[in-house]
Each structure stands twice: as C-alpha cells, then as structure tokens.
C-alpha cells in the first residue's frame, strides 16, 4: 500500500506524483546460497574469536580477538541475511494464491519495513559483553517472528515496497503497481484467515482500515503496535474513530515493560465480535533471556483467545525430516569427546599385552620359566600404573563428563541451536589446539605411538567434518523448522 509523501509539511496528493510501477526484483539463487554458506562460516569463526579472547594472555591479544570476532560476526550476519533475501520466494500475485491454502494478510506502512527487519544478532551489548553465540533464531527479523507466531493460521503474505530490489524477510511478498495494488489487497483480504494490521503513523493506512472494518469481521483482525508510544498515538488520533468502539490508549510504561519488551513489536490489540478492543503487552518472561524469539513467543501468549476462538494450535508441529548430515555428525562429535578418555585404558591393555609377549619370548614358551620370569620385576619392561589409570576411569568427574557429552549429543540430534553452534565452533578451533597438544605431549605409556597417534588424528579430523556437515543448508533449514 503506497505511502503518502510529504513536502514542506503538506501531503502530496497521489494525482500530483508519477504512478509507481511494480518493483523489479533482482534475485540470484546461486549467489544467495553462496552468501548464506559463507555467512555461517564467518559467524562460526567470529563466535570462536569472541570466545578465544577470554583466554588471551595479553590485553593486546584480547582486543585483537575481539575486533576480529566483531568484524566476522557482522560480516556473517550481513551474508546470511543477504543470502536469504536472494532465496526468499516472491509471489506473482496475491490473487493467484491456491484456493485451498490458508493465508495471513500482513498490512503495514512501508516506513515500518526497516523496523520489522531488525535482528537480535546485531545488538552491540551481546557482541561486546555477553559474547553469546549467534544461533539461527538470532538472525530472524521481527517480521520473521510474527510470521512464525501466526503460522497456525496460514502463510503470511504482504505487498512489497515498490523500491525494493530484494524482498524483505518475513512475509512472502507480491509486488504491484499503483494501478493494481488495491485489487491485490482486496483479493487477499477476502480469503485471509487472519489480518495483521500494523498501527503505522499518519493516514497512510486509511484505505486498508476502511476495508478491514467495513467487512465487520473483528474476530480475524489483530492490530499490531510497533516502535513506540508516539507512532501508536498518531495512528489512534488519525484512524481510531474508524473502529466502532475506538481504540484503547497506550498504557503507562512500567519498568517491567522496559526490561521485558521486544525489539520493535510492543503490543497487540484483538477484538471481540462486537469490536470491543483488548490491549495485550508483548513482554517476555525474563530480561535478556529468550530475546531472540521474544516476539514469536509473546504473541501467541497474548493472543491465546484468538487462537482458541479460531480453533488453531499455538504452534505448528515441525515436519521436516532429520538430515543425514545430523545423523553422521552426532556420533563424530561424541567420538571426539569420549574416545580420548579411553586412551589410558588402551595404554593399560597394550602394555599388558606387550609384557606378556616379552615374557613369552624370554621363556621360550616354557610354562615353568614363564612363572619364574613373571615373578621377576625386571621383565616388566612396559610399566603402567594400573591403580592410577583405573582410578581415573572410575572417578566421578569422568562419568559426569560422559553424561554431559551424552546430553549435548542428544541436543544435536534434536536440533538444539546453541549446541549445534558450539559444535561448529569447536570443529574449527579445538582440533588445532588438540593436535598441537598431542604432538608435543604424547603419553609416555603408549606402547605403539604410531597407532595411538593415528587414532587421535582420526578422532580430531572427525570434528571438522562434523562442523562442515552442520553448516549445510538442509541442516540450517531443519533447525529453523524446529525453533
């Protein structure tokens, strides 16, 4: 829906400006896939740098790792977002949507597009102070979250801004000219299971408000309050009288709201069948925690009566099958963290086998000599402290570590975003440090150093392989479907 442009404080009439044509979208799927993959590589390296900076021995080294991490994370966010925009489907027309498909119509002023494109990964305090890992959820825009929250009602669709060259992330967009956009909106409005109307500034949404209210179906309308009190105040002053029972005033802002509110979407208003409005603040439950998906989680909670009235669940059950890359990477990660714990036991077994072989060779196979040689301490050429080794294997920290690895492996198998991001980072950084440690401090009790070293190398190489598998696009899409 075109906005009203202003010159010197006065509205410029539509008749006095050149009619705008539909946007020309310039997408490249190949470029999108490359940007998305490279973006996740940069995010992985950047997150690792932010973690390594805490272990730096010097202040200069710490600041260097911090600078490298911030630059890589910013580049990664840009690459992944740009790649997604190249890969986002563009609708030919809102009139040509499948007749049996449920849709949600997203109406807003184009000036709100920038706010709805915000992502949590670019919050500076996260990068500089918390160094929290950027998961796929941290790269979702506010519009992404709104679309996921209302997914039980259907696919969210909208008209795109005529000046776009790439579609925004969130609702699937169709692009229309000034001559056809009203027809497109009416076609989607007549069939939408839910209508989301963003309370924008000024009277740019006046025609849409008239069409929505004129259909006298308040049960499928939700008014989204975004940005700040002033924007909603302008909307209420300009268009509040179009609603049969008006609109509520913006409530006083409390400290709780300041701490728990979302990044851009502030509240939602739903209506009874007689147009009685109900204001719901979209607050989280804990400060900072869950910020990446605050809007997605808060919206269904606030609109529970709307979901119940429409007979739809609060969340769509994911149906994307688990990729083979996840099935392979999970045992590789578990082997990386668990098999090294068995090397002390392997050393005991190999040492005992070597001692038995030496004793057999010295006695020439005689059982009597074997017994005599066995009592001679000098024949124990490969000495391993069995008590210390078995004590280590039976100690509670080792079993605690096994439990931690098992829990993390389960979360990787289930698509946990934080654990998978940790596995990606570990697959790049940990093998380098571990190989250096193994090469410089090979265990002295290893009877066959070449075999032990070969086993360790194979284990270490499994981690980078797992990291590469977890960056695959099908894995990223599978994780997204489960969040």
Residues 175-224 pLDDT 10s: 988 788 889 899 999 899 999 999 986 566 889 999 999 988 999 999 99
Q: Where are the beta strands (DSSP E) in 39-191?
A: 90-91, 103-107, 155-159, 172-174
Measured distance CA(63)–CA(70) in Å, rounded: 10
* Mean pLDDT of the region 299-310: 92
- What pLDDT does residue 167 have? 93
| DSSP character string of 118-136 | -BGGG-HHIIIII-----G
Task: Give the model's pLDDT for residue 202.
Answer: 57
Q: How far apart are CA 3 and CA 201, in angstroms?
A: 10
Neighbouring-strand partners of residue 104: 156, 194
Domain layout of the chain by residue ranges: 26-87, 90-310, 324-482
Least confident of 56-65, 126-135, 472-481: 126-135
> For 439-456, how does the pLDDT look when each residue is reduced to its tens digit (9 = 90+)?
665 554 444 456 666 666
Judged by average pLDDT, the poorest of 28-37, 170-179, 281-290, 463-472 is: 281-290
- Give CA–CA dist 297/92, Å, rounded: 31
CA distance 139 to 214: 38
Q: What is the model's pLDDT at position 35?
A: 94
**Confidence category of residue 251, pLDDT binned at 50, 70, 90:** confident
The stretch 311-333 carries a mean pLDDT of 89
Hey, which of 3-7, 236-240, 430-434 has the most confident mean pLDDT? 236-240
Q: CA angle, corner 160, sides to 158 and 163, nearest 5?
A: 170
**Residue partners of 228: CB distance under 8 A and separation at least 6:** 266
Q: Taking residues 393-422, what's their average pLDDT?
A: 82
Query: Would you state the pLDDT for residue 98?
Result: 87
Q: Is 483 helix (H, G, I), strand (E, B) or coil?
A: coil
pLDDT of residue 316: 83
Residue 436 has pLDDT above 80, yes or no: no
């Amino acid at each position: 829906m075109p906005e009203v442009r202003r010159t010197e404080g006065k509205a410029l009439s539509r008749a006095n400006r050149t009619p705008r044509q539909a946007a020309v979208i310039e997408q490249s799927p190949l470029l999108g896939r490359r940007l998305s993959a490279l973006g996740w590589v940069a995010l992985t390296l950047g997150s690792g740098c932010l973690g390594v900076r805490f272990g730096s021995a010097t202040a200069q080294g710490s600041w260097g790792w911090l600078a490298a991490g911030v630059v890589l994370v910013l580049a990664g966010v840009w690459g992944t977002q740009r790649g997604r925009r190249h890969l986002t489907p563009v609708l030919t027309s809102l009139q040509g949507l499948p007749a049996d498909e449920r849709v949600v119509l997203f109406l807003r002023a184009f000036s709100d597009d920038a706010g709805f494109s915000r992502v949590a990964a670019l919050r500076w305090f996260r990068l500089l102070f918390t160094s929290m890992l950027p998961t796929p959820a941290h790269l979702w825009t506010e519009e992404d979250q709104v679309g996921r929250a209302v997914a039980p009602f259907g696919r969210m669709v909208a008209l795109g801004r005529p000046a776009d060259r790439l579609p925004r992330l969130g609702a699937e967009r169709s692009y229309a000219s000034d001559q056809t956009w009203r027809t497109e909106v009416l076609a989607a409005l007549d069939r939408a299971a839910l209508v989301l109307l963003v309370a924008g500034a000024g009277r740019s949404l006046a025609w849409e408000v008239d069409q929505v209210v004129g259909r006298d179906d308040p049960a499928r309308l939700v008014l989204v309050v975004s940005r700040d009190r002033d924007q909603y105040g302008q909307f209420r002053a300009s268009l509040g009288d179009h609603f049969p029972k008006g609109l509520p005033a913006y409530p006083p802002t409390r400290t709780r709201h300041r701490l728990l509110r979302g990044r851009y979407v502030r509240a939602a208003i739903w209506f009874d069948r007689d147009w009685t409005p109900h204001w719901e603040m979209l607050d989280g439950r804990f400060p900072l925690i869950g910020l990446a998906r605050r809007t997605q989680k808060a919206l269904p909670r606030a609109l529970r009566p709307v979901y119940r009235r429409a007979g739809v669940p609060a969340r769509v059950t994911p149906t994307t099958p688990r990729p083979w890359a996840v099935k392979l990477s999970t045992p590789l990660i578990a082997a990386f963290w668990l098999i090294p714990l068995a090397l002390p036991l392997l050393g005991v077994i190999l040492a005992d086998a070597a001692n038995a072989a030496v004793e057999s060779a010295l006695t020439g196979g005689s059982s009597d000599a074997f017994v005599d040689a066995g009592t001679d301490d000098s024949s124990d050429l490969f000495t391993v402290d069995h008590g210390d080794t078995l004590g280590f294997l039976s100690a509670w920290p080792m079993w605690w570590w096994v439990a931690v690895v098992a829990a993390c492996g389960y979360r990787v198998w289930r698509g946990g975003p934080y654990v998978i991001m940790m596995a990606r980072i570990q697959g790049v950084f940990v093998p380098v440090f571990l190989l250096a440690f193994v090469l410089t401090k090979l265990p002295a009790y290893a009877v066959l150093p070449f075999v032990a070293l070969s086993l360790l190398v194979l284990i270490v190489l499994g981690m980078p392989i797992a990291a590469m598998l977890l960056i695959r696009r099908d894995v990223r899409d599978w994780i997204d479907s489960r969040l």
